[in-house]
Each structure stands twice: as structure tokens, then as C-alpha cells.
Structure 1
Amino acid sequence: MTTTLTDRYVHAATRWLPTRLRTEVDAELRERIADTVAARGATDEAERATLEELGDPLRVAVDYTGRQPALIGPRLFFPWLRLTILLVAIVVPIVAAVVVIVGAFDGDSIGSIVGAGFGTAFDVTVHVIFWTTLVFAVLDWTNTPAGPETWSLDRLPEPQSTTSLSDLIASLIFLPVFAALIIWQHVGSPFAEGGEAIPMADPALWSWYLPLVLVVLALELGHALWLYRTGWTMATAWANVGLGLLFAVPTVALLLDDALLNPDLVAHLSWDPEVVTNAMTGIAAAVVLVSAWEIFDGFRRARRRG
């Protein structure tokens, strides 16, 4: 199915609206665009001229709601919204990952590491939103020029993905980092006993599981590039199912069997085996839930595009 400029424009204008209002605005906006394009000769040039004349799709959405944004004045609201979303998508995961890695270096308990990661993600999100909002509020109050419009027809998002560029950036950063950490935890673990490093994962897993994870990460990187080029389709959704199951099934099995962590590390850190078992069970449940959601979301996006 070919995605037209109108499809992308309407998606950009309605993606932040509530579901009920989104359907109504989608139909009205398409009719408005179609009538104008038909009156101008129903050519590609007429479609582009019509959309350029309508202007920023976010402003069009505000016009349909009948409410002006109040947090930041209308002049700077949309640049603020775009930048805030981009910063949260990029900065928050990076900082949270650093905190988790530092916690592992310090030998913190599993619960402390997980709690610190989620707590940091929340704190950083709050700070990013607060400071970005403050900066834009000052710019608005001082009537600083907003500069040229940041939107263009050529940069409209595809309907099948609202954050395709952010998703790609995150994948390009975290998948290679994750692969490097898998190798590093074995050859450069900060935990040692008798001058010999203690790997975090059970060394026996190098016989099959850890190489499998490295292969899955490489395939995930290819899948992210595929998505960025084509968007969500039934083909990419089914590929997402295969990759999800390829990682989740053996991972959950190992977690439930207490076979993922290196027993020597557990003994070295004097962790309570019962606490470790409970933590592994909780992580296994989280892996199942996240994998199920990602599979569902892939088909949801593919069906929405279709």
C-alpha cells in the first residue's frame, strides 16, 4: 500500500488527538484536502501546494480542537513539543543504562540495580521536561524570535510509526552497547576473587545461549533498519515475532531455572539464593510481558497502516 503525502499529513495532524476526536478530524481533514486538490486539478503538485498552504499539521490539529495550547504560548508550543519528545526518547534510556552499569560495577544487589534504573529514568524524564519547558517559557516571555518553521512536507512522519527516527537512533546506540556488555562481562568483569575475574553470566552459557543472544542483537539491528526504510508491515511484524521468541523463550527458561547468573558471582557477593530466585522469576515475568507487548504492538502498527 502506497503512503501518500496526504496520509502522512493527516497522521501528523491527528496522532496526538484522543481516539474519538482523531477519527472525526481524520475524515474531515481528508475531505477538506481532497476537495481543494480536486479544485486545483488533482495533480501531485496540487496536493503539495494544498498541504503547504494548510501549514504545520500540529497547528491544524489545534484549530480542530478549538483550544489553544496554554503551557507554552502558541508561537513556541510546537517546537517545544517536538524537542521534548526527542530528548526524552534519547536521553532517558542512555542515563538509565549508565546508572545500571555503575550499580553492577559497585556490586549492588539486583533489586537495588533495577530500582535505581527505573528511579533514574523517572527523575531524568521529569528534569528533561521541566528544564526544556523552562527554557521555552523564558524564550516566550522575552518574545525571542522563534526562527523558521521546523516542519516540512518532506519530513512528515510515516503513519505506521510515530517515532521511527528515535527508534532507529535508540537501536543504533543500545544494541551494539548491549552486545559489547555481554562480551565485557566475561572478559572484563569488575568482580574478582584471587586475582581472577568472575563473569556475571554463567560461563557455560557461551556454549549456546550467549552466542545466540549476539546473533539476535545483530538481527534486531537489521530489523530496525528495515523498519526505518519500510515501516510496519505484516512481513516486519512476523519477523518481529520470530526475533522476540528467539530471545524470550530461552531467556525465560534460564531465568526460571536459575541458570543465567554465574553461581560463583552469587557466592562472591553473598546474595541470598532465595532472593536471587525471586528476582529471576520477576525478571522472567517482565520479559514475557514486554515480549508479548512488542509482538502485539508490531501487528497493531501493521494493521493500522493497512
Structure 2
Amino acid sequence: MAATLTDRYIDATVRTLRPHLQEDVREELATSIADAVEARLEQGESADDAERAVLNALGDPGVLAAGYADRPLHLIGPRYFMTWWRLLKLLLWIVPLSVMAAVALGLSISNAPGGQIIGTAVGVGISVVVHVCFWVTLVFALLERVGGDPAPTWTVDQLPEAREDSASVSHLVGSLVFLGASIAAVLWDRFRGFVVLDGEIVPVLHPGLWPVWMLVFLGIVLGEAAVAVAVFRKRRWSAATASANTVLAVAFAAVSLWLISTGQLINPEIIAAIVLHGGSDFHYADLQSANEGGIFRILAVLLGAAIIAVCAWDGFDGWRQAWRARGRMRG
């Protein structure tokens, strides 16, 4: 005897259920379908039409079976979604950039070509993004299915602190104090000295930087001060101030990196004094490390990486503040 539509529907529903549930669900479904069909027959529908209408109303057997088994049909549901989303965003900000920076730093120390550094770092960064998304999502998908502890209940104690206005007096004062301290440190190094050898002042910065490159440095510092004052006067960041801030950050990074790469930033007398006072072991380490670049090449690469990181954050932060200010104005 050929199986009816009802038999086929019930079989499709219970086949994915655990054995101890199948018989109970089969009986429950058969009873509910029969009752629903009978109600339609009493309204004058034919048997075939009534059966089809009832089964169509029940929907996909797989969805119905998931309801009986209490099995989620979504990857990550509302219980864990916000926790997953916040963690994923945080990790995507931190992990790929950190790994890319580490790879680029290592290749730079080993004196790899610029194209290889960029290509390798970008490739590794893309791979890390894929892995972070996959593994974080997999963990939360498993939590969704195995149960585990429920997500913590949200309370007002978890509200973020109010963001400090970037155009506040404290921000302006802090910026001007930092810039002033930078100028003071450069002047102190030149005329009073941080390092004194045999009673003589030995500047850390290359004496050849005076006066041309120091005037360039002074111009960048004054430009940064002007941007800080402009932001304070307008009470907000704008596209103009963010652009000016980015240009100044790029200019400082470009000049600094060029001076580092050409050996014009650090006073060679300081390097010679370090080698001399470090003895033969230090000198040997300098000759043998970093693929003929020496330990000073490693220090130069680290200094350059720090400058790039600081300047990149400075430029990004200006545009971030400008975007927030634009959003507040729209609101």
C-alpha cells in the first residue's frame, strides 16, 4: 500500500529526532493532523484538499522537527549575539593589526625588500581576519547548541563612561603641554645635554639636524598646536582640522623615517660611545645580528615602527573625532 502524504510528512519529521522521541512525536503528529483534516472535512472540503492544506500549514518538516528537539536553526541567536558581536569587533581591531605589525617588523629587521614586507604583511593580515571570524563564530555557535551558562544579564552598571569632549580645555592644555615638552626636550638635548661623556655634552640627536631639520620639526609642532587651538575654538573636530592633522602626522613620519634610514637622526658619537663602553661583546653582537644590519639596525627599525604607530593613531584619531562630531550635529 502506497504511503499517504501524511505518512510521508510524519516520516520526514521524525527521522532526524532521537529514537526515544520518535514514537511520541509520531503519535502526536498523526493525532493533530487527523483532527485538523476532520475539521476541514466538516467544512465541506475534499479529503485530498484538506490533507494538503493541513500539511502545508504545518510547514517544513525539518523546521517542525527542530522545534520538537529544541534545536536552534540559527547560527548565533539573541542570547549570545551581542556578546559575539562585541568580542569579534574588538578582536578584529587588535589581532590582525598586531600580527601584521609583528610580521612587517620582523621582515624589516631581516632587511627584506619593501614589496615583500607589504605583500607578506597584507597576506597574513587577511588570513588572520578569516581565522578570527571563523573560530570566534564557531565557539559561539557551539555554545548556542550545547547550552552552557546563560549570557550575563545586562544592567545599567555596564553602561560605558561618558566620552570626554575632544575640544575640551583639558584636551587643549594636554596637547600644548606635550608639544611644549617636545620642544623643550630637543633644546635641552642640544644645549644642556642628556648625555655627558668625559665632561663634555654629547647630544643624542645628530648635530647636523640644526638648523634646517629642526626648523622643519618646529614647523610641524607649531602646526599641531594650531590644529589643537582650532579644534578648541570651533568646539569640535571637522574635516579640515582632521585633514591638517593627518598631513602633519604624515610629514613628521616621513621626515623621521628618512632621517633614520639615512643615519642622520642619532648622533654617531653616541653610537660609538655605546659600542666603546659596551665592550667587545656588544660590538660582536652589533656585527652579527640582523643580517649584517647590526643591533643598531634593530633599534632603528623598532624606533621607526613606534613612530609609524604613533603617527597612524594620531591621524586616525582626528578623523574618528571628526566623524563623531558630524554624527552629533546630525543628531
TM tier relative to shorter chain: 0.3 to 0.5
Larger radius of gyration: 2
Bigger relative CO (Cα 8 Å, ≥ 6 apart)? 1
- TM-score norm. by structure 2 comes to 0.43
